[in-house]
């Protein structure tokens, strides 16, 4: 409580000593990661609560301000927070608050708070502040969005006139934000601008003024490593800035043309203790692997994972006593997530989980490396166990003997009251020797003597997997059980987990292979399966999956797919944001994006019927995508579709009960289609 008023709050930050916490109340979502709220400092011992940022008015009243975020520094000496896109620092010993930046303006200049496109496509975070572990300094990114075009989001609400929210949103080919990197020294309140390589060396390869900063991390108290690319994420430079010399050097450069790919974070850089360097993701023989870089100037690194499979993410943890690290890999099957241990002394690999079985695991490791929280996600009922890592895999019975932290008995009992569909993994080999992963879901009482409708579920985005072996029962499984339908999950070429030979099909080819692979895989599935009702075959997807759904209907022309449901679809990639689209398609000045849009509108007349749904407040895939498509349908008289619009809903479609309605609508629509 504060002034006897109860606060509905949630915990956001804790000191290492656990004596103080920060909570937020009245939090309101902004975009996918960011929010505004009132932040409070709580003394755990006394339960005293005080606002972190309050403005004293002329009449001595106090106004509590909404902030972007607030948190403790690593050692708990400071609270750092962001208010109106400026960074503030509160010294917990003296109680003094300093304003680190003063030029933030909520619109064009943002300090330590990502703009929309960086939050969504680059950092996946609501903040861009990187502390040195001894609290002596921190780095932050500054955004200049002055030249970024504005997209006007119309918010209708219940007023007579709608509100307009101006969203700085660069579409393909349009100006991107200009970023810069700064270091603030808490010891002397000095603010230093990090010089980019081309500012010091005329021979340094210039990535353009709109280069992208992907990752930033302190290697030690004096050296800051950051990764940057050109705007198409095709050329990567790993740079190190020294606070002692004030110079920035390019340590290594990667041209993704080498593996016909692109750059995107595949795991955090893991800094080893005692100045033993860091572990980073690299591409080796067209697979994602790990390399140990001994120091900041090491440009080669020592590869510590290897083989015809992919590392997923970065390092999960490090055992200092054994000088070994843990990570997740596919073991040659993209469905899997297996746990590995690697010695940094001799790069010897040990599989912690059984590689001869299809598994999906994740792992969190304690700071010392002794304990791990192992989560088994499937295909059987999930478990979660706290393990002593040194006992795996040396003691085979050890894991089974441990207590499951999940309440698996309740889940099993609940599942026993339902008709649970069955799942099988079906790799399908296409005509050109490419194999796509398919998961088949059948109703519990499946009978080969009957005929069943088929619903294909897709996403299909570059480097992303929908098909996996996780234990999961959601919307599609409900359709299978309730509508007596077969479900197929299909990952076309270009998706993740299978190396760059597979992923690179997507480069410069969005919209080409996805429909072809899905149609061919579905055709192959239907062949020699008389229990499939070929007049009741449908496809559905959301976001990128909505785009793939529409492209498949356009390409197929009703031959295989009679129905489709597209939610929040991209219909023309010229309308989507620059960083995501150009990462896979390059700059539109060098690529006409021929297949990256709906082109042959007339083809849709051959589909029995299809459904399109979209939120009008979608900041990600703008409602403009659906409206422009519908206009083209109007021009040529296409009428065999239904539309459901969700006022003011964003990309997740959850405003004012919309998330319940969207799934109810999908379910009822497909049941009606399958009953016809």
Separation between Cα atoms, residue 93 and residue 20, nearest integer Å: 13
Q: What Å distances lie between residue 93 and 76, 79, 97, 218, 462, CA to CA?
A: 10, 11, 11, 25, 49
Q: Which of 498, 506, 468, 469 is nearest to 308 (CA)?
A: 498
Q: How far apart are CA 264 and CA 261, in angstroms?
A: 10
11 burial type by CB count under 10 A (0-12 exposed, 13-18 middle, 19+ buried): exposed
Single out the catalytic residue among 291, 324, 360, 543. 543
Active-site residue 543, yes or no? yes
At residue 403's C-alpha, the angle toward residues 398 and 408, to 5°, is 125
Q: Could you give the residue ranges of the DSSP H alpha helices within 159-255?
A: 197-200
What tokens were used for 204?
Answer: 């340094």
Q: How far is CA 346 from the centre of its chain?
A: 33
Partnered with residue 38 across adjacent β-strands are 25
Half-sphere exposure of 619 (CA within 13 A, CB side): 19
Contacts of 12 (CB under 8 A, 6+ apart): 22, 23, 24, 39, 69, 70, 71
Q: Under DSSP, is residue 119 helix (H, G, I), strand (E, B) or coil?
A: helix
- Whether 447 is a known active-site residue: answer no
Distances (CA, A) of 212 to 45, 122, 490, 607: 44, 8, 32, 42
**359 flagged as catalytic:** no
Alpha-carbon torsion angle 593, 595, 599, 602, nearest 10: 180
Element (H, E) at 308: none
| Catalytic option among 618, 619, 648, 650 | 618
Please name every residue paired with 70 in a beta bridge, in sequence order, or none if there are none.
81
Q: What CA–CA distance (Å, rounded) separates 427 from 238? A: 38
Distance CA 313, CA 146 (A): 34
Residues with catalytic roles: 543, 618, 651
């Amino acid at each position: 409580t504060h002034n006897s008023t109860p606060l509905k709050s949630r915990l956001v930050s804790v000191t290492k000593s656990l004596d103080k916490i920060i909570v937020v109340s009245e939090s309101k979502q902004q975009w996918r990661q960011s929010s505004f709220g009132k932040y409070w400092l709580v003394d755990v011992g006394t339960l005293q609560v005080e606002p972190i940022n309050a403005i004293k008015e002329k009449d001595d009243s106090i106004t509590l301000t909404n902030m972007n975020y607030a948190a403790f520094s690593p050692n708990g000496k400071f609270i750092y927070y962001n208010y109106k896109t400026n960074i503030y620092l509160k010294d917990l010993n003296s109680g003094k608050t300093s304003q680190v930046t003063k030029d933030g303006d909520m619109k064009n200049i943002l300090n330590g708070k990502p703009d929309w496109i960086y939050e969504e496509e680059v950092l996946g975070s609501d903040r861009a502040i990187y502390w040195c572990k001894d609290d002596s300094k921190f780095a932050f990114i500054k955004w200049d969005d002055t030249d970024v075009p504005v997209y006007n989001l119309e918010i209708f609400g219940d007023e007579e006139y709608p509100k307009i929210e101006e969203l700085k949103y660069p579409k393909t080919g349009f100006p991107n934000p200009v970023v810069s990197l700064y270091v603030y020294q808490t010891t002397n309140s000095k603010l230093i601008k990090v010089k980019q390589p081309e500012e010091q060396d005329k021979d340094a390869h210039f990535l353009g003024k709109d280069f992208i900063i992907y990752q930033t991390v302190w290697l030690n108290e004096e050296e800051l490593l950051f990764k940057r690319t050109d705007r198409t994420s095709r050329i990567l430079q790993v740079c190190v800035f020294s606070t002692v010399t004030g110079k920035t050097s390019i340590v290594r450069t990667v041209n993704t043309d080498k593996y016909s790919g692109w750059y995107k974070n595949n795991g955090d850089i893991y800094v080893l203790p005692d100045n033993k360097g860091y572990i980073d993701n690299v591409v080796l023989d067209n697979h994602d692997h790990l390399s140990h870089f001994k120091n900041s100037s090491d440009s080669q690194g020592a590869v510590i994972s290897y083989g015809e499979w992919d590392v997923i993410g970065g390092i999960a943890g490090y055992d200092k006593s054994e000088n070994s690290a843990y990570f997740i890999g596919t073991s040659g099957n993209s469905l899997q997530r297996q746990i590995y241990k690697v010695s940094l002394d001799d790069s010897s690999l040990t599989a912690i989980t059984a590689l001869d079985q299809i598994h999906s695991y994740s792992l969190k490791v304690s700071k010392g490396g002794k304990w791990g929280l192992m989560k088994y996600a499937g295909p059987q009922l999930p478990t979660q166990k706290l393990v002593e890592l040194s006992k795996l895999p040396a003691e085979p019975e050890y894991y089974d003997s441990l207590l499951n932290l999940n309440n698996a008995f309740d889940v099993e009992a609940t599942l026993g009251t339902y008709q649970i569909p069955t799942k099988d993994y079906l790799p399908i080999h296409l005509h050109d020797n490419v194999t796509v992963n398919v998961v088949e879901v059948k109703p519990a009482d499946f009978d080969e003597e009957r005929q069943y409708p088929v619903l294909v579920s897709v996403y299909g985005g570059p480097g992303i997997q929908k098909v996996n072996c996780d234990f999961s029962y959601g919307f599609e499984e409900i359709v299978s059980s309730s509508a007596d339908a077969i479900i197929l999950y299909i990952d076309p070429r270009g998706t993740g987990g299978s190396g760059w030979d597979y992923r690179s099909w997507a480069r410069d080819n969005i919209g080409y292979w996805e429909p072809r692979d899905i149609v061919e895989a579905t055709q192959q599935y239907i062949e020699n399966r008389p229990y499939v009702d070929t007049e009741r075959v449908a496809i559905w997807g959301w976001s990128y999956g909505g785009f793939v759904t529409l492209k498949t209907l356009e390409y197929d022309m009703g031959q295989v797919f009679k129905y489709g449901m597209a939610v929040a679809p991209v219909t023309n990639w010229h309308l989507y944001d620059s960083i995501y689209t150009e990462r896979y398609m390059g700059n539109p000045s060098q690529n006409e994006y021929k297949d990256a849009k709906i082109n042959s509108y007339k083809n849709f007349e051959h589909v029995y019927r299809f459904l399109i749904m979209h939120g009008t407040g979608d900041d990600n895939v703008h409602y403009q995508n659906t409206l422009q498509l519908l206009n083209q349908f109007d021009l040529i008289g296409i009428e065999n579709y239904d539309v459901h619009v969700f006022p003011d809903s964003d990309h997740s479609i959850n405003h004012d009960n919309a998330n319940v309605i969207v799934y109810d609508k999908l379910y009822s629509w497909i049941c009606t289609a399958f009953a016809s």
